[in-house]
Structure 1
Amino acid sequence: MKTLIALLAWCVLLVLCWPLALLALVLWPLVWLLSLPFRLVGITFSALFAFLHALLMLPARLLGGGPAPDRATAG
């Protein structure tokens, strides 16, 4: 759906101001290439925080921490 909206917006820009639309079409791959390192840093930090969370919660998980089991289904 985002792609369809972006295409529609570009078509409107093409009708209103075609030089700007063509410039956006040419510069979009360059902007995408410049944003790649920031995406990689974001993925790395997300993985690092998930690892730290799992590492810090490991003792609680080993000791049986977590939600208490329901006594009606515990049998």
Structure 2
Amino acid sequence: MVGFLLWLVLLVFCWPLALLALVLYPIVWLLLLPFRLLGMTVTAVFAFLGAMLMLPARVLRGRPI
């Protein structure tokens, strides 16, 4: 909601820049999408490795898996 209000203020003061932002936003979002997917994958791999490394310690302490 705040982003939309800021865009409206930009539209009032500098409408060409606001329209350029409106057109470029989906393009930039699509360009950055692979990096988001890569970040989620790396996070998942590190979480998996952390769980695998901590599994013997959890079993030895008697905690349920």
What TM-score does the superposition give when structure 2 sets the normalisation length?
A: 0.92
Q: Does 1:51 align with 2:44?
A: no
C-alpha root-mean-square deviation of aligned residues, in Å? 1.2
Within the candidate set 26, 32, 36, 2:33 is matched to 36
Query: How many residues end up aligned between the 2 structures?
Result: 63
Partner residue, 2:13: 16
C-alpha distance in 1 between matches for 2:23 and 2:51: 44
Question: Tell me, which stretches of 5 or more residues in structure 2 are unaligned?
Answer: none
Larger gyration radius, structure 1 or structure 2: 1
Q: More helix per residue: 1 or 2? A: 2
Question: Tell me, which stretches of 5 or more residues in structure 1 are unaligned?
Answer: 67-75
Q: Which amino acid aligns with 2:34?
A: P
Task: Show CA shifts across 1:16-71 (max 9, x none).
Answer: 000000000001000100110010010001000100100100110111167xxxxx
- Percent identity between matched residues is 68
